[in-house]
Structure 1
């Protein structure tokens, strides 16, 4: 466990040093970002509960450093690889689902927190819209009108599920990040308009795709011959819903 933690710390320091080089950061091998994310995932999910990650030296500081990297680089224009962009987005989406890592995001400098929220509120463009929406929803879920359930009672499964999955974590909203979002939208009218426009456009697309796919699935089910619905189509349908 200590070896994996050492590797995580080395990668974090390497990324921070490379970030200070300005435009040369674009030439940093993706290896360091991938290893940092995978090492954190391994420490969190693949060790015995007897070896708690919280007992590692400098644990909270390391968590905050990794949060700063994810918050800054998920929308960094110097990173052009589609796969590494998706990985950073997914890592940030997972990060905001757990109370300890979410508090680490709240501990990063205010300037970085505001920049992160500004990037999340920007039009989707080349970013994965599903992950962006997931992050914004998790920051609100359980606060005010947000769902207070981990999963709606009528959607509970009879078989036990992996309680460590990000989607099964209890709501842990962030009032601090909500405040940043409110301030950005209230002070920048152009940003507010473009954000609402992109959300409504995405909602319109999701409704259209959802209705179309539901109809295709129903038609396939009504055919006399045995048909199998593509698993990917079902996943996209669930995401749109």
Structure 2
């Protein structure tokens, strides 16, 4: 039976592959309807064959490529050859089931093909009617949230980010006008997936931190190179624009995480909160010092683009949203008395840079950037937070007056990675030491010792008072 199905699949796919005119120009109604029926038969066959490993892994990849190409060609036909409601109910449903089931399927060995399926999802969720089809699809509801989080890797992070951004659009600071095009259902499903699988969310969050840090570094370096030469080429401008847009999207996804999963930052270890605050200050420093406002606009805005589409507010708004989300969550009794956002910011080694960044956020022309947005009223909370932070920082500085250096023994106990904390964590079996925050962060990406490159099997907290 499986052999007959595979033979039928080959015959149908050959129609798509060997008839490029059908894929490029479908002018006749009967051809359009025939190609539509062929695509739907192929999808149904693939869904059946995907349940048989011994058959599915041998399906030629170009069959799937032809299917995806033809489906999107049919989708773009104007005027539509079938009523949109029929296309969504009968044709899109099975295609959605196939894409969400297999975009992260290890049996598909081609990374390019998995990217193609991800790109299909990314395109479809941009349209409200198609997004509704995802919300009504059982496979999408049960599979897509976790699969998206696990697919966020060095290769597929761009399409995954675009999908997550579309699903969460409208939930961030200054983006309320996009709320209608988002999906409340998938926002809830993503929240549940992150809350119930801490390992999956921890790995995703680590990659999100690293990726956003990398994109902002690349952006800063590119702008600095152009500023030094004071020459903006079209290629450099396009590169800066793309990297900046990706950074804004990643920041929005991170903002969603702080809104829906605040416990990841406010409960337990403060490592995630410290990484988050360091990233916020890093981005603020890059944005405020990369170039003057005029050169910044020149670096990004291509000919004909308006100020509303490209401005610093695009990256600053999610940073404000992240801070406000944490403050709102910290007010609740559930997280009261746990990780203190103000204290983490105040304990950073660059108080002047932190204060300068917050002053820039407060003085930014939000009224022009977010005309009439309801989020503008929340800036008062940010101003209050900035004042409390400044007061806390000054108190810490006063407490440090009169403290000059330390004994040689104190220097020996200091972490030689950050020089800010005691080396209270010992690595086994090599017995080297650092502070617990440094080694924990390091182990997220590498399992070897800083100093001797030995494999770290265990990290033991060391209490100096008992040794």
TM-score of the superposed pair, with normalisation by structure 2: 0.42
Partners of 1:117 and 1:180 within 8 A in 2: yes
Partner of 2:166: 138
Q: 1:188 Cα shift? A: 1.9
Aligned equivalents of 1:228, 1:142: Cα separation in 2: 32
Aligned to 1:4: 35
Which residue, out of 106, 126, 135, partners 1:77?
A: 106
Of structures 1 and 2, the one with the larger relative CO (CA 8 A, separation 6+) is 1
Whether contact under 8 Å (2:170, 2:182) holds in the other structure is: yes
- 1:54 alignment partner in structure 2: 84
Aligned match of 1:210 in 201, 219, 233?
219
CA RMSD, Structure 1 to Structure 2 (Å): 2.7
Partner of residue 92, structure 2: 63
1:124 aligns with 2:152: yes
- Cα offset, 1:115, TM superposition: 2.2
Q: CA deviation at 1:119?
A: 1.4
Q: 1:19-40 deviations in whole A, cap 9, x for unaligned?
A: 1212431211123322222222
Number of the residue aligned with 2:72: 41
- Cα distance between partner residues in 2 of 1:194 and 1:55: 39
Bigger CA drift: 130-139 or 23-32?
23-32
Please give the alpha-carbon distance, in whole angstroms, between the structure 2 residues aligned to 1:146 and 1:36: 39
Which structure has the bigger radius of gyration? 2
Contact 2:40/2:94 (8 A) holds in 1 = no
Q: Quote the offset at 1:5 in angstroms.
A: 0.8
Query: How many pairs does the alignment contain?
Result: 216
Q: Distance in 1 between matches of 2:42 and 2:92?
A: 13
**2:141 paired with 1:109:** no
Unaligned runs of 5+ in 2: 1-31, 248-467
2:181 is paired with a residue of what secondary structure? coil
SS at match of 2:170: coil
1:13 match:
44
Unaligned runs of 5+ in 1: 151-169
SS at 1:27 equivalent: coil
1:164 maps to which residue? Answer: none
Match of 2:59 in 1: 28
Equivalent residues in 2 for 1:201-240 (5 A)?
201-222=210-231, 229=235, 233-234=239-240, 236-240=242-246
TM-score (norm 1): 0.78
Contact 2:39 2:71 in 1 (8 A): yes
1:69 Cα shift? 0.8
Q: Give CA deviations for 1:46-97 in whole Å, capped at 9, x if unaligned.
A: 3325x454265x6413211111111111111011112212211110111111
Q: Is 1:187 matched with 2:196? A: yes
* Aligned-partner Cα distance in 2 for 1:123–1:39: 25
